[in-house]
């Protein structure tokens, strides 16, 4: 009996000490009495103002803060255009129902919002940086590539290749999924995707174990627009783009959204095209008896395509939601390349002049279909999500390669080359989140994907019948990849200390076949089967954060990542589009693997935010493009595992609001790159050995974007960037700089807007590289587009205006989840 009484007393004491309860309420407009959604509700410790928990109100204006320990707090309620509320609370042993809380409009704030709600916004989370770009003026009427070019730490070269912190081993996703994007199609897809379809861009330099480990430098996630507001609304846009030296092209777009309590639906359709003009030169000096080449080039290319995206979310009830969505891009393009070559024979010292004309056309189709299910398990935020996606991609192409001698006009090469590509990707994933309290969370999940690729190519010596096949050009590369993964992460917040740790186990397998003719007289196709590649690997991640006094934040994260070669990187097909340089893939490539350490410091002031990131990344089996002479004195270009690399640096991002009319975001990246010495040989002739000494270089880059309010209806955006010389495998790439401009004027109570954008105003985006190898030194300058001007008109319509987003605390409130939609 005595034991029972003692146990009962202890039980009551323990329950009182560790008692947790719920705070709930409803936010309404003081005048209209209508509920307000997306209001920020934050719970702060009364004595330290330490952020303890936070939520946003739902579509009914309701909020719920679960698992709140006993104590004294301040409930802070804030929303754009309203006066903020600070409500003192004494949480005891009862649930708190605060009932209806009225917010009063702040007319002065509303006027400021009208002019300050423009431009890119930056939010810093525990595992990523989020940039809201739907109001980016400098990319209005442009493409996804133009949007990425304005994101701090991201670079896009003239050919559309994307790099993060000067590292090209980066993954680009759409709505949190790879969506079939590979090195083969990424540039074309991004150039075809309208900038107006993008809501925000998430940069994850060190993603957690929840995400796929592909991309040694990180993940860039493009989140497409999808807003849930009651009613219907949309926009119509039309405009034109002109690139210096080309014909202007038109752009058209329409966006429609509808939302109700049961159904959300959206449709985005756009048509855009663009012409590009480029060129440059290559001076390659042969040494030790090898030939010298002087080449100039003029390039003209373009594309026209249709982009469509649609989706439906059906809310079965408050807990169950089913979604069906997809996008499609269908386009065609052309190219016209002219090369003028002066060839000096090393033995005879005689010059040979010849012209190489390469004209081509092609088509490209990319699409993705997604079926998603979400179960909201409890009010804490626990949920279960399942997703099934299918992403097919296809392309076709035809090239005419004509080489003529300047001396007598004879034709030395006349080839019609054709190619196709077909990719199919299937992916299934399931994610479970258990929210124990507002500050602790467990995530578990599984992911499986299967991807197949087939890339046949062939050539003839005549376009029409009778056309004789050139068998040495025939190649059909087939690849099949499978990835199966399990992951788990756990995160918690205790006072000022936050952490998240996890591990991902991933099994990867690859099979490939390559078919070709062994000679011009062969009658049967030879097929070789590549060695099966199967490997189980583990990818841990750890994130630690500590809140310092006076709005300071310190973060540390450690991850392990991998970059697997795909597509044309491993396809041994030899392209003869330029007879002075043969290009092919390397089926013997090994994956890059890296270990990354990063420490972040965040400091917030009322009108300023500073983020400092110190990072170190060690990479093994670095994949880079290399060049060397073959036995026939012809330059070959392929991808090799060259060596190990060490990258360390300091990235500073400063966001400043100046005199209420200027929002300035600047990024300074200081980094040191070291590439260990290496040696490698041609996959076709092991005797051709190339050795490169150890290389190291300190580099830096600066990018600054200023959003200037000229009036309540006129907005200006200026962007400038500079990059110092950078290290490449066989040399360096010279410094580069460029300036962009955007101007927007609104009319009709902001329902109509006119946007002007100018990119590369001074025509300075050109790449000069200096390289050397066995038997040669080379200087090369290339540019792929040049100055571009665009004008876009947009009209917004609907039975309501999308409400202003809530004020986001651009500090270090821990967000251990994902913002992917």
Helix (H) or strand (E) run with residue 12 in it: helix 2-17
Higher pLDDT, 332 or 407: 332
Per-residue pLDDT at 219 exceeds 90: no
For 680, other C-beta atoms within 10 Å of its C-beta total: 19
Confidence (pLDDT) at 474 = 93
Q: Which of the residue ranges 136-150, 234-248, 421-435, 527-541 would you say has the lowest mean pLDDT?
A: 136-150
Q: What is the pLDDT of residues 738-773, one digit of tens each?
A: 999 989 898 988 889 899 999 899 999 888 999 888
Per-residue pLDDT at 707 exceeds 80: yes
Per-residue pLDDT at 114 exceeds 70: no
Confidence (pLDDT) at 649 = 93
Predicted TM-score (pTM) of the model is 0.77
Q: How many degrees, rounded to 5, is the angle at CA 706 between CA 704 and CA 712?
A: 170
Confidence (pLDDT) at 526 = 94
Higher pLDDT, 416 or 148: 416
Tokens in use for 326?
Answer: 């997809």
Q: What is the pLDDT of residues 611-640, one digit of tens each?
A: 899 999 999 999 988 888 777 777 888 888
As a whole number, mean pLDDT of residues 438-444 equals: 90
Confidence (pLDDT) at 126 = 60
For the ranges 400-409, 446-455, 540-549, 706-715, the maximum mean pLDDT occurs at: 446-455
Confidence (pLDDT) at 821 = 37
- List the domains of the chain with CATH numbers: 12-105 (2.60.40.10), 121-392+427-531+538-798 (2.40.170.20)
Q: Which of the residue ranges 45-59, 355-369, 591-605, 695-709 would you say has the lowest mean pLDDT?
A: 45-59
Whole-number average pLDDT of the chain: 83
Confidence (pLDDT) at 373 = 96
Query: If phi over 0 gives left and psi between -120 and 50 gives alpha, with beta otherwise, what is residue 32?
Result: alpha
For the ranges 18-27, 127-136, 752-761, the maximum mean pLDDT occurs at: 752-761
> Which residue, among 246, 134, 144, has the nearest Cα to 788 in the 3D structure?
246
Q: Which of the residue ranges 70-74, 295-299, 592-596 would you say has the lowest mean pLDDT?
A: 70-74
The CA-atom distances, in angstroms, between 701 and each of 165, 599, 666, 729 are 9, 19, 11, 19
Q: What is the pLDDT of residues 2-11, one digit of tens each?
A: 555 544 544 4
At 483, the pLDDT band (50, 70, 90 cuts) reads very high
- Measured CA to CA, the distance from residue 397 to residue 423 in angstroms comes to 15
687 class by beta-carbon count within 10 Å (0-12 exposed, 13-18 middle, 19+ buried): exposed
Mapped onto helix, strand or coil, the DSSP state of residue 116 is: helix
At 801, the pLDDT band (50, 70, 90 cuts) reads very low
Higher pLDDT, 458 or 568: 458
Per-residue pLDDT at 195 exceeds 80: no
Higher pLDDT, 601 or 454: 454
Confidence (pLDDT) at 196 = 75
Under a CB-based contact definition with an 8 Å cutoff, are residues 328 and 308 in contact? yes
At 81, the pLDDT band (50, 70, 90 cuts) reads low
Confidence (pLDDT) at 625 = 85
For 756, other C-beta atoms within 10 Å of its C-beta total: 19
Phi/psi at 761 (5° precision): -55, -40
Higher pLDDT, 603 or 300: 300
Confidence (pLDDT) at 10 = 43
Per-residue pLDDT at 125 exceeds 80: no
DSSP state of 802: P
Higher pLDDT, 808 or 522: 522
- Measured CA to CA, the distance from residue 802 to residue 751 in angstroms comes to 12
Under a CB-based contact definition with an 8 Å cutoff, are residues 545 and 498 in contact? yes
Confidence (pLDDT) at 484 = 98
As a whole number, mean pLDDT of residues 406-416 equals: 87
Confidence (pLDDT) at 609 = 82
At 369, the pLDDT band (50, 70, 90 cuts) reads very high
- Measured CA to CA, the distance from residue 416 to residue 511 in angstroms comes to 30
- Measured CA to CA, the distance from residue 574 to residue 474 in angstroms comes to 9
Confidence (pLDDT) at 17 = 42
CA atoms within 13 Å, Cβ hemisphere of 530: 22
504 class by beta-carbon count within 10 Å (0-12 exposed, 13-18 middle, 19+ buried): buried
Confidence (pLDDT) at 80 = 64
> Which residue, among 705, 762, 758, 756, has the nearest Cα to 738 in the 3D structure?
762
Per-residue pLDDT at 814 exceeds 70: no
Q: How many degrees, rounded to 5, is the angle at CA 217 between CA 211 and CA 220?
A: 60
Confidence (pLDDT) at 101 = 92
Confidence (pLDDT) at 632 = 74
Helix (H) or strand (E) run with residue 111 in it: helix 107-116
Radius of gyration of the chain (CA): 29
Phi/psi at 145 (5° precision): -60, -40
At 595, the pLDDT band (50, 70, 90 cuts) reads very high
Mapped onto helix, strand or coil, the DSSP state of residue 11 is: helix
Higher pLDDT, 113 or 671: 671
Per-residue pLDDT at 379 exceeds 80: no
Confidence (pLDDT) at 183 = 62
Give the dihedral sign, CA 348/351/357/358.
Answer: positive
For 631, other C-beta atoms within 10 Å of its C-beta total: 10
Per-residue pLDDT at 536 exceeds 90: yes
Q: Which of the residue ranges 21-35, 157-171, 373-387 would you say has the lowest mean pLDDT?
A: 157-171
At 527, the pLDDT band (50, 70, 90 cuts) reads very high
Per-residue pLDDT at 139 exceeds 70: no
As a whole number, mean pLDDT of residues 142-170 equals: 77
- Measured CA to CA, the distance from residue 99 to residue 84 in angstroms comes to 17
Percent of the chain with pLDDT over 90: 34
Q: Which of the residue ranges 372-386, 391-405, 682-696 would you say has the lowest mean pLDDT?
A: 682-696
Under a CB-based contact definition with an 8 Å cutoff, are residues 425 and 459 in contact? no
- Measured CA to CA, the distance from residue 678 to residue 692 in angstroms comes to 5
């Amino acid at each position: 009996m005595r034991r029972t009484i003692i146990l009962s007393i202890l039980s009551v004491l323990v329950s009182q000490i560790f008692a947790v309860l719920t705070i709930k309420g409803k936010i309404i407009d003081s005048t209209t009495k209508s509920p307000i959604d997306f209001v920020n509700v934050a719970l702060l410790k009364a004595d330290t103002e330490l952020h303890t928990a936070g939520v946003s109100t739902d579509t009914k204006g309701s909020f719920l803060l679960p698992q709140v320990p006993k104590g004294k707090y301040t409930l802070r309620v804030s929303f754009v255009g309203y006066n903020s509320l600070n409500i003192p609370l004494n949480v005891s042993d009862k649930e708190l129902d605060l009932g209806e809380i009225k917010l009063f409009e702040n007319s002065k704030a509303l006027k400021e919002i009208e002019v300050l709600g423009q431009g890119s916004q930056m939010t810093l989370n525990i595992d990523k940086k989020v940039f809201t770009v739907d109001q980016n003026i400098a990319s209005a009427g442009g493409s996804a590539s133009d949007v990425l070019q304005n994101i701090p730490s991201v670079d896009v070269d003239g050919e559309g290749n994307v790099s993060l912190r000067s590292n090209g081993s980066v993954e680009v996703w759409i709505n949190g999924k790879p969506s079939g994007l590979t090195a083969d199609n990424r540039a074309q897809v991004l150039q075809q995707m309208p900038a107006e379809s993008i809501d925000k861009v998430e940069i994850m330099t060190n993603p957690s174990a929840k995400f796929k480990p592909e991309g040694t430098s990180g993940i860039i996630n493009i989140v497409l627009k999808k807003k849930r507001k009651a009613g219907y609304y949309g926009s119509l846009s039309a405009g034109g783009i002109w690139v210096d030296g080309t014909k202007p092209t038109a752009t058209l777009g329409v966006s429609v959204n509808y939302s109700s309590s049961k159904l959300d639906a959206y449709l985005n359709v756009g048509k855009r095209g663009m012409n590009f003009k480029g060129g440059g030169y290559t001076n390659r000096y042969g040494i030790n008896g090898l030939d010298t080449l002087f080449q100039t080039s003029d390039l003209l290319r373009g594309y026209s395509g249709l982009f469509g995206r649609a989706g439906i979310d059906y809310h079965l009830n408050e807990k169950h939601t089913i979604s069906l969505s997809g996008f499609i891009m269908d386009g065609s393009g052309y190219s016209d390349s002219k090369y003028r070559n002066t060839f000096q024979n090393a033995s005879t010292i005689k010059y040979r002049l010849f012209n190489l004309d390469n004209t081509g056309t092609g088509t490209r189709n990319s699409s993705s279909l997604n079926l998603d299910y979400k179960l909201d398990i409890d009010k804490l935020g626990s949920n279960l999500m399942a997703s099934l996606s299918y992403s097919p991609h296809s392309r076709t192409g035809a090239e005419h390669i004509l080489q003529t001698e300047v001396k007598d006009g004879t034709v030395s090469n006349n080839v019609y080359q054709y190619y196709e590509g077909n990719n199919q990707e299937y992916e299934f994933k399931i994610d479970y989140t258990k929210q124990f309290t507002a500050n602790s969370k467990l995530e578990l999940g599984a992911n499986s994907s299967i991807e197949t690729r087939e890339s046949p190519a062939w050539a003839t010596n005549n376009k029409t019948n009778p056309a004789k096949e050139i068998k040495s050009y025939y190649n059909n590369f087939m690849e099949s990849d499978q990835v199966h993964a399990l992951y788990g992460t756990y995160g918690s917040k205790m006072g000022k200390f936050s952490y998240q740790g996890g591990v991902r186990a991933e099994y990867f397998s690859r099979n490939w076949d390559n078919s070709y003719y062994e000679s011009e007289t062969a009658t049967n196709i030879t097929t070789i089967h590549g060695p099966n590649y199967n490997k189980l690997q583990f990818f841990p991640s750890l994130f630690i954060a500590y809140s310092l006094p006076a709005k300071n934040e310190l973060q540390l994260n450690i991850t392990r990542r991998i970059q697997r070669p795909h597509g044309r990187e491993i396809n041994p097909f030899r392209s003869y589009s330029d007879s002075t340089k043969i290009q092919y893939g390397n089926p013997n490539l090994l994956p890059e693997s890296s270990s990354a350490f990063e420490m972040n410091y965040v400091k917030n002031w009322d009108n300023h935010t500073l983020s400092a990131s110190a990072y170190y990344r060690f990479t093994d089996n670095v994949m880079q493009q290399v060049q060397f002479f073959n036995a026939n004195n012809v330059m070959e270009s392929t991808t090799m595992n060259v060596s190990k690399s060490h990258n360390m640096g300091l990235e500073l991002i400063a966001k400043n609001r100046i005199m209420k009319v200027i929002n300035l975001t600047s990024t300074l990246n200081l980094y040191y790159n070291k590439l260990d010495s290496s040696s490698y040989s041609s996959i076709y002739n092991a005797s051709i050995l190339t050795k490169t000494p150890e290389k190291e270089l300190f580099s830096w880059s600066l990018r600054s974007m200023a959003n200037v309010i000229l009036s309540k209806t006129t907005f200006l955006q200026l962007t400038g960037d500079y990059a110092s010389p950078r290290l490449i495998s066989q040399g360096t790439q010279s410094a580069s700089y460029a300036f962009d401009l955007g101007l927007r004027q609104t009319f009709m109570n902001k329902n109509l807007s006119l946007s002007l954008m100018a990119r590369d105003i001074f025509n300075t985006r050109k790449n000069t590289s200096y390289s050397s190898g066995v038997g040669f030194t080379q200087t090369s300058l290339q540019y792929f587009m040049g100055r571009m001007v665009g004008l876009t008109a947009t009209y917004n319509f609907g039975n309501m205006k999308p409400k202003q987003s809530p004020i986001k605390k651009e500090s270090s409130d821990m967000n251990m989840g994902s913002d992917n939609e």
